[in-house]
Structure 1
């Protein structure tokens, strides 16, 4: 830990394996981050962690190795409400990237319009305790109402126990919403745990989307994280038209096992062996939600 007292994250695995599974053309990593470089895109002074730099150049190399061409860049809390790092990456992508922004209560309508023009299609809120816990709910509801005319969605990062507390709120949201990382439900608590039951119940709502990413976060068995497979399968079976997949590269705040992203790609055919469903999750669903302007190869 540095003298500032802000914890430093582990770096991602630098030796990404070429996966055995080959994603379909136009496949999208629907949850990933760009960090810095800090000298160009400074980290927020009030951040809860400092990531090692994981710049766009490294992300492009990762995508090439994994066989992915599209991405949804989620601006992480370490960059605060400055979304420049992902806006610049989207601008360089030729229509292959979209983004999810962090915004504060003071964001203006002009700024929302600028973000929309720059490829942003949603905003994200952390409810996770180690990232600050529950946001100001008045601010939350105000911002959700303001993004509705833009056709955006809201991304929600919960701890599993929060699904019990916020179930009524989720059912009342006026915009599409995404639950990150399968709700961070621990695999050790089994498929019958109440938070996962609530997650699947919520996933049946027409405006709820689920990300079957974060296998390394919910796994209790460790690499290659196959104990997360039944959870991803259940989510996918519940909402096949509203399920997304992502790597979460470069995996901030991993406490135990830093994953190899090639292993995460090789979990996809374990989630479903149906090529039509694989294409739906990797290509069709993200295209429908984010409206990519590039053409699949």
Structure 2
């Protein structure tokens, strides 16, 4: 298993700080390994990135809400996420929720799914093929049915070359669907990129949303990722009420040094320069999609 690079240990606060109740709509937690062993044949393992470190990061960034996304590293065993939710939500209202890996819908029973739901899990992520978890057509249909029964959303991780070819599997769903990482559209292709074309088409259906994230890997130009700005703005212009933002901390499967989190949040400000749109993407949209309680 190759070694991947850890997150920047010295995050800086963005300038300015984001609005109150800003949500990091995708981050992960890993380890420690002796407490949370990786599943057999896991495609990757990351350096330890605990919920306590994530909590400190969010405090630095001015983030008050978050959504933990289960990594394929742990498969259907969601202990690391359950423990993180308990720790992050201790002593107050629920400000952290989570998204399961879709494997749990085929490998675990209803009681386990109810345990996840009670803890704050509200969605299931269907991960890209190269990460070692795949469902048969029958398993996928059963997974979709269980998502609907639970009142959850579907989350789709794009393949490295974009998600255009994946979307036929999900386009007929009548549950909320969140498309990760701007579909991994190629920013050099503009409106001709097939993944962007399909996302813009699916926006017309009303139940498709997009995650503004993974800019550092989508970019062909490198920091400060200028080439990604028009792509993000195209998505925001098309559906400003259905875009959310995620850090993707600690940046799994990074072969280049992950960026500073403060710089990534400032990139979001470049995507959406006006305060009204920032409020939608960082606060209002995630509150509505994930179901955070309004104070």
Partner SS state of residue 73, structure 1: strand
Equivalence for 1:119: 120
Equivalence for 2:25: 30
Q: Unaligned 5+ residue runs, structure 2? A: none
Change (3 A) 1:160 1:79: closer
Greater Cα shift, 132-141 or 66-75: 132-141
Asked if 1:230 is matched to 2:230, the reply is yes
CA distance in 2, matches of 1:77, 1:25: 31
User: What pairs with 1:1-297 in structure 2 (closer than 5 Å)?
Assistant: 6-94=1-89, 95-102=94-101, 103-127=104-128, 129-132=129-132, 135-159=135-159, 161=161, 163-293=163-293, 295=295
Query: Offset of 1:104 from its aligned partner?
Result: 4.6
Partner SS state of residue 20, structure 2: coil
Query: Offset of 1:213 from its aligned partner?
Result: 0.7
Change (3 A) 1:212 1:172: same
Does the Cα contact within 8 Å between 1:32 and 1:71 map onto a contact in 2? yes
Number of equivalences: 289
Greater Cα shift, 222-231 or 258-267: 222-231
Task: Write the deviation string for residues 218-267 of structure 1: whole angstroms up to 9, x where unpaired.
Answer: 00111122221111111111111111101000001123352111110001
Greater Cα shift, 191-200 or 145-154: 191-200
Partner SS state of residue 52, structure 2: helix
Does the Cα contact within 8 Å between 1:126 and 1:135 map onto a contact in 2? no
Equivalence for 1:3: none
Task: Write the deviation string for residues 62-86 of structure 1: whole angstroms up to 9, x where unpaired.
Answer: 1011110100000010111111111
**TM-score of the superposition, structure 2-length normalised?**
0.92
CA distance in 1, matches of 2:254, 2:244: 21
CA distance in 2, matches of 1:191, 1:54: 37
CA distance in 2, matches of 1:105, 1:42: 21
Does the Cα contact within 8 Å between 2:76 and 2:108 map onto a contact in 1? no
Task: Write the deviation string for residues 5-64 of structure 1: whole angstroms up to 9, x where unpaired.
Answer: x12221111121221131100000001001111121222122101100001111111101
Query: Offset of 1:162 from its aligned partner?
Result: 5.7
Q: Alpha carbon RMSD of aligned pairs, Å?
A: 1.7
**TM-score of the superposition, structure 1-length normalised?**
0.92
Task: Write the deviation string for residues 109-133 of structure 1: whole angstroms up to 9, x where unpaired.
Answer: 1111111101000011112x43137
